[in-house]
Structure 1
């Protein structure tokens, strides 16, 4: 193997640049030519591909986002789109590919591997919802962004004696909400993996109010519905004054934490190592601080699950 490519796909996450840097420098260290594919699978189809040198990835390890940019590409889900991408890989003589992204990105990597192109998936998503790894690139940074915001909101919640609803990302996965809620002592955490009843949420608020509690923080993962709707329902049932903060895309940005930089560097380098070993159709991950890799089909067939012990703990500590 003499030439490999790297692309980022789907939603950006802090630490993607560190992973790109690791792929490029690990590859060059082993005398490989490394090509950057810009704008994800859309760029692969259009041939937006450039050779990367050591200097191409200088001064990016601390930057959020992705220097290769990202895009969602419906065309690549079709056999015709995949064939266009394969033709571009042949044109540039790229013999192996590293794909950094989430579930949708891995689906594309799986298709390429099935058609004979060695591809390795690197989990990069703030949702932490990829099986086969304890943590995904970007989760820790997004989590700390949320915690910083909640700390500030709690200050004003205390001053004005209000109930604050904070909506965080997590359409299908509640890891961000759960970890942030536990770390910041939220009174209630609503996540898509666990059914909730508004009556129970209200009862907890009322118990706190009866013992003299003047403010409350409720974390809502977006997959559970709108924070605004939750706030309206609470006001209707309790009469408590509520305020809503939707953190939105601020959760995706920012300089990656040390944890995410190290994680991304390890996973990116391991992806290149697997290609050098002749492996294909794999995903890399970290479990118990050890690097692991799994068949990409197996990973995509598994369903992400939250740590239910942690969820129970959050309930016990927020009585």
Structure 2
């Protein structure tokens, strides 16, 4: 939104006719034009490590634990609880009803009767259901944890941040040299870009093209690649489910 406002102001203020590029850096991983944002991997590592510790404690006491993750309206962190061995993840992008909740509760009840004496459910702070938003589930569960994000950056985030920032500075330098060669400043038509990673490729995409891919009200891209992984969670948690995207 900031880049769109700055680029629109170029016609009135030539001071804004300078190279503009955004490097995505947010744990929410909700920037269009990039599969990953700097910080998202660190947050996911923190969540997974915390869940592993909680599962060890919960197994000995037959507890059901609900963990609330960060990320705004974007359910990336909660959905990727696949890595943490979660039994379910409630996210904004996928509304659910009482039948869904009942199915999860029945699954957890049967699971605790086996050799796996614990249940783990992740949820986003912003979800499309009054069932969890009202706090009913947290009152009935054996444990409830509001998980903040912290810790040292993961090796992936450190390397990704360094490489993508270096590429951004190369782009800015090239734009300035082009302007010097023309003997004038940049024009209002020069692109304002987001530098992201998509399918292992580092790509520059103009924000004018990306704005149609964004749900500005909820601050999430309209298409999210990780939603295709949703069916895998139930399969790995041993629900009676098949892989249908």
Instruction: Give the TM-score taking structure 2 as reference length.
Output: 0.76
The alignment status of 1:219 with 2:138, answered yes or no, reads no
* C-alpha distance 108-149 of structure 1, shift in aligned 2 (>3 A): same
Partner of residue 184 from structure 1, selected from 66, 84, 87: 84
1:156 deviates by: 1.0
Q: Which residue of structure 2 lines up, in the alignment, with residue 113 of structure 1?
A: 7
The alignment status of 1:231 with 2:138, answered yes or no, reads yes
Partner Cα separation in structure 2 for residue 299 and residue 284 of structure 1: 11
Q: Which residue of structure 1 lines up, in the alignment, with residue 45 of structure 2?
A: 144
Q: Which residue of structure 2 lines up, in the alignment, with residue 247 of structure 1?
A: 147
| Contact 2:35/2:225, CA 8 A, preserved across alignment | no
Q: Which residue of structure 2 lines up, in the alignment, with residue 204 of structure 1?
A: 107
1:291 deviates by: 1.0
The alignment status of 1:307 with 2:226, answered yes or no, reads yes
Partner of residue 290 from structure 1, selected from 182, 201, 204: 201
Partner Cα separation in structure 2 for residue 306 and residue 167 of structure 1: 22
Q: CA RMSD in A?
A: 2.0
Higher relative contact order, chain-length normalized (CA < 8 Å, sep 6+): 2
| Contact 2:112/2:119, CA 8 A, preserved across alignment | no
The alignment status of 1:194 with 2:94, answered yes or no, reads yes
For structure 2, the 5+ residue unaligned runs are 11-15, 176-189, 215-220, 240-245
3-state secondary structure, aligned to 2:103: helix
Q: Which residue of structure 1 lines up, in the alignment, with residue 184 of structure 2?
A: none
Q: Which residue of structure 1 lines up, in the alignment, with residue 243 of structure 2?
A: none
3-state secondary structure, aligned to 1:312: helix
| Contact 1:171/1:192, CA 8 A, preserved across alignment | no
Instruction: Give the TM-score taking structure 1 as reference length.
Output: 0.59
The alignment status of 1:261 with 2:158, answered yes or no, reads yes
For structure 1, the 5+ residue unaligned runs are 1-106, 236-240
